[in-house]
Amino acid sequence: MAVLKHIESQSKFYLRAFHRFGRLVHSVDTLLDFPEITRIHAVIEWLNEQWCINDLSKNGVWLNDKKISKNQNIPLKKGDNIRFSEVNNAVYQVICVDPPRDLLLPENASHEDVIFLEQYHFLPDNKQPEVIVFFDSQQHCWYYETMQDHLLTLMSDGQNLYIGGQSWYLFQAESTMQEKTVELKRQPNNNLEFIFSLSLDEELAELKIKKNKVTLDFDVRSHHYLTLLLARYKLNDMQNNFEADVQGWVQVKKLAKDLGISESHVNIQIHRARKQFVEILNNEIIPSALIERKRGKVRFGGKTFTIYKGKKIESSNLEDNVE
């Protein structure tokens, strides 16, 4: 994540993947309100795995006290000093040249208090989350869900949310890049085979997934029992010849009742399952390949699966496993 520091004030700020400097208030990312500064004065951009600065101005940009050529992408390195004016002596130092990242920034806290966003976050902590923030790789956007009222909210750049009594806001640095990256990596889920192993007393549930002849071990987790139960619902509907688009859908209220836990706990377990899924599969498969959601309902997203209880097959939709 690239960071610039204003030398005189020592204030720091993060850069977007395409970051504009100038005095056109509503069209720049960093406002430079000086008469010699042009409307869009310069751009710092993440290009070919490096940060570059491009002078678009009439009056020039200086890098390490040397005026740079106009309309050319000049690579930046840590420690470089940038001046956007020969008249104004304000110097901005490059103090970090890491790749761009989307962030949650606090409204009233130090620069060090920042959350670098990954695919999934349980906030303020994993054990008792108040809010779950996640990236929807199908819609290429961030969402957050509150555990108190289960409201799912689309996040936009600058969106505020409250966590642990503190206000945070979304800083989107790489949304366009993420869109392209996820689009390339996203794959269909019909080549996944889900293998559930359940203890005889149904206290322990384990999951393995076969993908392209490779078996991925998801270990024993409490949330696997929820996923297994959804697979049972789906198989029952398949056996009753329900249409494919309605197979397996169940109300969260019913699922909570069948599991003997609260709806809030059900939602947390769903997110834990999806988080583990995208992390182990390196975000190559969309989370709905495991669990789909819509308007208070959920269903198992897998196409082929087998459930073992003890050492015997309890159920399967694979023809080779049907006894």
Q: Which of 165, 156, 100 is nearest to 131 (CA)?
A: 165
Rounded CA-CA distance 144/159 in Å is: 10
Q: What would the two tokens of residue 279 be?
A: 């992390």
According to the model, what pLDDT value does residue 182 have?
Answer: 43
User: Angle at which helices 223-239 and 252-259 pack, to 10 degrees?
Assistant: 120
According to the model, what pLDDT value does residue 110 have?
Answer: 60
- The domains of the chain, with CATH numbers, are 2-97 (2.60.200.20), 103-182 (no CATH), 187-321 (no CATH)
According to the model, what pLDDT value does residue 181 have?
Answer: 40
What is the DSSP code (8-state) at residue 309? E
Per-residue pLDDT tens, the chain, 323 aa: give them. 899 999 999 999 999 999 999 999 999 999 999 999 999 999 999 999 999 999 999 999 999 999 999 999 999 999 999 999 988 889 999 999 999 999 999 987 665 689 999 889 999 988 889 999 999 877 888 999 998 888 889 999 999 999 988 899 999 998 645 444 444 344 545 589 999 999 999 999 999 999 988 999 999 999 999 999 999 999 999 999 999 999 999 999 999 999 999 999 999 999 999 999 989 988 777 787 889 998 889 999 999 999 999 999 999 887 655 54
Helix (H) or strand (E) holding 56: none
According to the model, what pLDDT value does residue 199 have?
Answer: 96
What is the DSSP code (8-state) at residue 283? T
According to the model, what pLDDT value does residue 118 have?
Answer: 87
pLDDT tens column, 130-156: 999 999 877 888 999 998 888 889 999
According to the model, what pLDDT value does residue 185 have?
Answer: 47
What is the DSSP code (8-state) at residue 106? E
DSSP notation for 10-28: --EEE--SEEEEES-GGG-
According to the model, what pLDDT value does residue 212 have?
Answer: 86
